[in-house]
Structure 1
Amino acid sequence: MSLAAAYAEIKLAHVALVAASGGLFAVRGAAVLAGQRWAMARPLRVASYLIDTLLLTAGATLWTLLALQPLRDGWLGTKLALLVVYVVLGSLALKRGRTPAARAAAYVAALAVFLFMVSVARAHDARGLFAAWAG
């Protein structure tokens, strides 16, 4: 089976991995804010890295199969820029934030960026959920 023939399966895996990555971050972030040490345990960190690596691999495969270009396909460029913001905010939320308030703010902002990134991907429009309002 060629990669092109496996498009539906790769897309399904990508979507499932997005849900797993976002869900794991949401749970871990809430636990960190609640002072739960298990949220930073090695098995959860490794699971997060594994899920995110598979997610990026599936995304890059779709990118290649569909011959997308971030500069030409603005929604993809927006999604990739948001991914960088999400990673930085997630790092601040889970461990790099200096105060509990900073970690909480980064956590809420990371979740908002994640959800907006999903809306951009679903709409294939850089405006994401706001595209419908723009007419």
Structure 2
Amino acid sequence: MITFYPDIKQVHVAAALTSGTLFALRGLGLSLGMRWPRVAPLRYLGYTIDTVLLTAAMMLLTILPAGLFANGWLVVKVALILAYVVLGVLAFQPTRGRLSRTVLYAVALLCFLQVYGIARTHHPMGLLALLG
């Protein structure tokens, strides 16, 4: 299975970037008051991309099962992913006020950027580690 690690990682990275881009575009559209971000096909596309992303992540974890506990950066990344998901769900709730949705969306995007930075640097501080 280790033979497929580079291919699975490439699928994982592509799915992560696609998922983040779709979230950013949908959130921007919602913050501008547009209706297209709420259409069912886009939601289902997001679910599909996230399923591929999670499947690839689980495959990578099974290839290197000790990786989760051996790397502090991976634990921080998983925690930030959970925060990103919760904030994203809250940001897309139509019952919230516009300002509340915008703040939640912005914080969710910051979480996504930090997850990206952690994945690139393999450091719990992510992109912030490059400042020091």
Q: TM-score, normalised by structure 1?
A: 0.91
Corresponding residue number in structure 2 for 1:6:
4
- In structure 2, the residue corresponding to 1:47 is in which secondary structure? helix
Matched pairs, number = 132
Task: Say if 2:61 and 2:68, in contact at 8 Å, map to a contact too.
Answer: no
Corresponding residue number in structure 2 for 1:59:
57
- Which consecutive residues of structure 1, in runs of 5 or more, have no partner in the other structure? none
Provide the C-alpha distance between the structure 2 equivalents of 1:55 and 1:21, rounded to a whole number of angstroms. 8
Corresponding residue number in structure 2 for 1:93:
91
Q: 2:42 aligns with which of 41, 44, 51?
A: 44
- In structure 2, the residue corresponding to 1:98 is in which secondary structure? coil
Letter matched to residue 30 of structure 1 = L
Q: 1:35 aligns with which of 33, 36, 43?
A: 33
Q: 1:75 to 1:96 in 2, by over 3 A?
A: farther
User: Which region of structure 1 is more displaced relative to structure 2, 62-71 or 52-61?
Assistant: 62-71
- In structure 2, the residue corresponding to 1:43 is in which secondary structure? helix
Provide the C-alpha distance between the structure 1 equivalents of 2:34 and 2:109, rounded to a whole number of angstroms. 19
Identity %: 42
- In structure 1, the residue corresponding to 2:2 is in which secondary structure? coil
Corresponding residue number in structure 2 for 1:78:
76
Task: Say if 1:97 and 1:103, in contact at 8 Å, map to a contact too.
Answer: no
Corresponding residue number in structure 1 for 2:127:
129
The structural deviation recorded for 1:22 is 0.3
- Which consecutive residues of structure 2, in runs of 5 or more, have no partner in the other structure? none
Q: TM-score, normalised by structure 2?
A: 0.93
Letter matched to residue 33 of structure 1 = S
